[in-house]
Amino acid sequence: MSFNKLGLSAPILKAIEDQGYTEPSAIQAQAIPAILEGQDVMAAAQTGTGKTAGFTLPLLEILSKGENAQSNQVRALVLTPTRELAAQVAESVKNYGQHLSLKSTVVFGGVKINPQMMALRRGADILIATPGRMMDLYNQKAVRFDKLEILVLDEADRMLDMGFIHDIKKILAILPKKRQNLLFSATFSPEIRQLAKGLVNNPIEISVTPRNATAVSVEQWLHPVDKKRKTELLIQLIADGRWDQALVFSRTKHGANKITKQLEDAGIRASAIHGNKSQGARTRALSDFKEGRIRILVATDIAARGLDIEQLPHVVNFDLPDVAEDYVHRIGRTGRAGATGKAISLVAADELDQLRAIERLTQKLIERRYEDDFMPTHMLPDTTLDTRPIKPNKPKRPREQTNAPRQGNGAKQGNAPKSGNRRPSAPKAEMTPGQGLRSKPLAPARRNRKPD
Ligand code: AMP
């Protein structure tokens, strides 16, 4: 399969070539022709599948055929759950559209609104936005949608998890009824299908989640350890295993800061990324990590979601997440595209409930490995596999309350995920983010450029 066959024109094919892509990924091969035909699309695809180009390339193609945007009017709106994802999508739009005359801009909360208003006034064919800031701009009459042709919801499941459903509904209400809708989500949960009902018309459904669980190999184990000795054990694992880099997950923002400081004190270069960090600090931490200037990135679940980080050999669950599905997302950060990754959990006796929930979700007991010097004084009780089906919509509320970017007055972005919006289990499928793509990361200065 070649990009030439998909119906894209020369300036876009040139940009694809500039990126060094030789053939379309599975999602691209399926989504691009359907979108070019004007179909609504519902695609189940995770980060790493090439989904961004899957919607961006045909979107650019369609827009390049029409009239350019007028002041404060946009022709395509891409909504993303987080600032980082918005910035990444915006960068992709710039790269893939570099030989076209279309204009794009990105808006998200946590930075000044005025420059964003000015950019919109200059006209933008494509607006990439997080929902809260987009509503702020709309309420301030900085943006209008009379000319809107295409709406993209990226990582729709995460948007629901983060409690954006009301913002999304408000946004849908202000858009012209006649438009093309593209819905991207890691899974098609009942909640996503519900959302889709009021959104897409007769969509083409695409799923690039592989059917079997062997496509990706992630070696998983846990170290039973006393809570207060976790950092010490982590430092030993990093040193003994000579790890180049690892992504360490903390359940709380405070925890992420503390782990980072302790690693730094032990001479291990680390940075934290979470919702209380300024946009600049988050961008810097991410680019430092991508460039190898720091060895350990300590992240909370919400901050890490959707980050386009190269495949990592090690993912560490410093704490088990309160929501079992987050474990699956976390370990999906390693072992992409056929390589073996390691997902290591440090588990204290008081995390037994979370462990049971994860094992029930994944239908797999996690192997226990005891470290001689870290035998816990509080033993982690044995678990048995609970094979009863999981009822949807009964998750625990995650502890981290404010990791989502804050998006101005009245915006929902600072809220914790709504407990009712959690995905029900689809463990096998979610465990295997297959067909992942590897490509060298973009230069961080460009990728993370602030909005105009
Ligand atoms: P995404 O799933 O959109 O986050 O993309 C994951 C990575 O795959 C990004 O770094 C893209 O630059 C890269 N990518 C997208 N399409 C292709 C392709 N056809 N061939 C190689 N790499 C690609």
Per-domain residue ranges of the chain: 3-211+400-439, 218-374
Give 379-402 pLDDT, tens digit per residue.
998 888 787 766 544 434 444 333
What pLDDT is recorded for position 35? Answer: 97
Do 3-211+400-439 and 218-374 show the same overall fold?
Answer: yes
Supply the residue whose CA is at minimum distance from atom 21 of ligand 1: 21
pLDDT of 339 reads: 63
Please choose, from the candidates 271, 278, 318, the residue with its C-alpha nearest in 3D space to the C-alpha of residue 297.
Answer: 271
Chain center to CA of 148? 25
**Overall fold of domain 218-374:** Rossmann fold (3.40.50)
- Please give the distance, rounded to the nearest whole angstrom, from the Cα atom of residue 53 to the centre of ligand 1: 7
Separation of 205 CA from ligand 1 center, angstroms?
Answer: 20
* Protein residue closest via CA to atom 18 of ligand 1: 21
> What was the pLDDT predicted at 250?
96
Dihedral over Cα of 197, 198, 201, 205: its sign: negative
Please state the pTM of the whole predicted model: 0.59
Q: Can you tell me which residue has the tokens 């990226």? A: 154
Pull the structure tokens for residue 298: 């300590």
The parts of the chain modelled with pLDDT lower than 70 are 209-217, 306-308, 310-311, 335-339, 389-452
Show the tokens assigned to 398. 């995650």
Top CATH class of 3-211+400-439 equals alpha beta
Closest CA to 432 of 354, 383, 364: 364
pLDDT of residue 320: 97
Which protein residue has the closest C-alpha to ligand 1 atom 19? Answer: 24
pLDDT, residue 47, reads: 77
